[in-house]
Amino acid sequence: MSAVRGALVRFAWVLLAVAGTGLAQDTTVEWKATLSDLERRLAALPAQGAAVEAWRSDAEALRSSIAAGTSSFGGDMNLPGALPAQPSHAELEQQLRALSAAVEQLIRRNPSSPFNLGTVQVTVSATAPATSPVTASIDQTEIRNLDLVNAAKALDYLPGVSIQHLSPNRNEAGIMVRGFSTRGQVPLYVDGIPISVPYDGYVDFNRFLTSDIAELQVAKGYSSPLLGPNALGGTINLVTQEPVKKIDVDALIGTGSGDRLLSALRLGSRWRRFFFQGSLDWLQVDYVPLSGDFRVLQYQNLPDIVMKDRLNNSWSRDERFTGRVGWTPRGQDEYVFSYINLKGQKGVPLYQGANAAAAYRFFWEWPYWDMANYYFHSNTQMGESSAIKFRAFYTQFRNDIDMYSNDTYALMNTRSAEHSMYNEHNDGFSTEFTTRAVSRNVISASFFLKDDTHSERGIFPAITPFPLVEPNLRDRDVQTTIGLQDVVRVTPRFSVTGGFSADHFDGLQGQQYNAAMTALLPFTCLASPQNNSYSGCTAHVWNFNPQAAVSYRVGESGNLFVTFADRGRFPMLKDIYSAGLGAGLPNPNLRPEHSRSWNVGYSQLVGARTLLQLTLYR
């Protein structure tokens, strides 16, 4: 490995562009923005005159742009012909439909196109703008240009989004969205599938590599009521790529500071009625380098570590394996099974500040932080105006913290030394029905169910009977959501969106250790001080989430919008049952928390490539 790395260090990032050149996201965004603008203008277009000629000219410019884009994919697109000099309203409508179909077809053929069933749209108008007023996103082109190797680094580039370093002795990266944390307040989705660590919500975004991410979407404050519970401050959705050609190959290999080695390979194939894809990734970082001006000290209480100009114990290893197979029998119908397996390892850096006599308590490493995710998506058209989507999933999280006694990272001879092992999983499903059968309305309804199970135990080598092995502790709950949304186009310029969801938390089991850590006990609570059942003193609560949005088109390319959301979230299992290593008390009576958020903003398209947007929120 050292010889390989030595050769790679002599090069910058090397990208093997085996796949064809893809369309930049800004091009497709421009096309969608133009289509949206043409649709809005068409509704109020007179029978003839300058406005019709302007519409015809813009449609022809879009047709020419799409035609130029087809050259990357063989030029076999079904493009409409040019409009006649004096088109009828029906001909204008037909041209708009044909152009829209061509854009969707071309996006599907784009090598960096997203997994279509995994995208989540939050709109405030029946003709959704290309850039939602409450979402931000970054695509694969930007991710590669900026060398953003994991989801934490990529999300940090979005406005209003930042990395949250959850705890110094865990070396984990959470995400903050306008001050709300991904630890229970901003749920994470992968292709619309919830990814939530059941017990404490500590999803480490450093472990999610980005080589096959087509787009990262962040909804801030106002998010879809159809997804599920706990969207107190918004949602994050990682949309993965899917194959678009008969032979679809993408590979990269590179190196960087800290003896970093990154490699990735994605192989896929798409045929008329089916597709399949597989990928593998490897990221190895031996250390995080520090500034050349950093003052290197040797610490009295770390005799076995020689400090250098690098962050000590900052190594990490990540592997990822994915697979996907899909069946597309007709039209927009699609049935897809996907698999993701993440395997991570990491060290936890120690204090390296100015106090050379600092005391140290934690010498931690994570021998594994693993996630296995199996999920199924389907989309079935029901007539010309309705569709039903179905999602089912099973996700397992396994991790272990080795808590050593000193800086040798070998001894466990103190009472605090432990192998702490978690084995958790959640499984469930959701279904979503959407119809456009009612004029000027897009009506959607959804049902969501998720079953969370947390299991843990610890091994203490220095506690009698040497070692002390805790019994397996198990907590469990079920969360359900019913969601409704109606997008109404009141006039060609004015749109209203109303949404509502009702969430239910059903606690099924809660356990705690006795003082000797040798047996399991039930919890007691105010309602049942003598409780002797693991299913007693568990929460059974409802949470209701109304939301609304309005938007008004100003001129030809401006958009004024206002959104309101009253969203809540249930406490994590750790919030309810943990005593915080003796620093607190379990609280089985803990209720949901709520947040009311407002967004008031204006966006303006300037020219063809610049969008200005101002948003005020509270």
d(CA 447, CA 390): 10
What is the DSSP-derived secondary structure letter of residue 85? S
Q: Give me 342's structure tokens.
A: 């993440």
The predicted model scores a pTM of 0.83
Domain limits of the chain?
21-110, 238-617
Task: State the CB neighbour count (10 A cutoff) for residue 574.
Answer: 19
Using pLDDT thresholds of 50, 70 and 90, give the confidence band for residue 582. Answer: low
Choice among 48-52, 297-301, 401-405, 514-518 with the minimum mean pLDDT: 48-52
Q: Identify the CA nearest to 4 among candidates 315, 177, 259.
A: 259
d(CA 510, CA 539): 10
pLDDT tens digits for 176-222? 999 999 999 999 999 999 999 999 999 999 999 999 998 999 999 88
- Single-letter code of the amino acid located at 285: V
CA angle 257, 258, 262 (to 5 degrees): 75
Superfamily of domain 238-617: TonB-dependent receptor, beta-barrel domain (2.40.170.20)
Instruction: For the chain, give the number of residues.
Output: 618
- pLDDT exceeds cutoff 70 at 483: yes
Q: What is the pLDDT of residue 33?
A: 64
- pLDDT above 90 for 329: yes
- Per-residue pLDDT, 508: 96
pLDDT band at 35 (very low <50, low <70, confident <90, very high): confident
CB 380 within 8 A of CB 388: yes
Average pLDDT (417-424) is 97
Q: Which tokens in the block code for residue 569? A: 């979230």
| Per-residue pLDDT at 612 | 84
Give the pLDDT of residue 10: 34
Give the residue, 566 or 3, on which the prediction is more confident.
566
Give the model's pLDDT for residue 8: 39
Closest CA to 164 of 173, 177, 151: 173
Q: Examine the pLDDT at 13 and tell me if it is beyond 50.
A: no
* Span of 390-404, 530-544, 552-566 with lowest mean pLDDT: 552-566
Average pLDDT of span 439-464: 96
Query: 556 falls in which pLDDT band (50, 70, 90)?
Result: confident
159 Cβ neighbours under 8 A, 6+ residues apart? 136
User: Which residue has tokens 């699609």?
Assistant: 334
Give tens-digit pLDDT for 488-513: 989 888 999 999 999 999 999 999 99
Residue 50: is it exposed, middle or buried by C-beta count within 10 angstroms (0-12/13-18/19+)? exposed
Cα separation, 65 vs 76, whole angstroms:
15
Q: How confident is the model at residue 119 (pLDDT cuts 50, 70, 90)?
A: low
**Tens digits of per-residue pLDDT, 89-106?**
888 888 888 888 887 777
Strands of the sheet containing 234-240, edge to edge, are 135-139, 213-220, 234-240, 188-190, 193-194
pLDDT digits (tens, 9 = 90+) for 227-258: 999 999 999 999 999 888 899 999 999 999 99
Evaluate if residue 14 carries a pLDDT over 50: no
Q: Is the pLDDT of residue 404 over 80?
A: yes
Q: Dihedral, CA atoms, 405, 407, 411, 414, nearest 10 degrees?
A: -10
Q: How far is CA 497 from CA 123, 128, 502, 524, in A?
A: 8, 11, 17, 44
HEC string of 294-319?
A: CCCCCCCCCCCCCCCCEECCCCEEEE
Mean pLDDT of the chain: 87
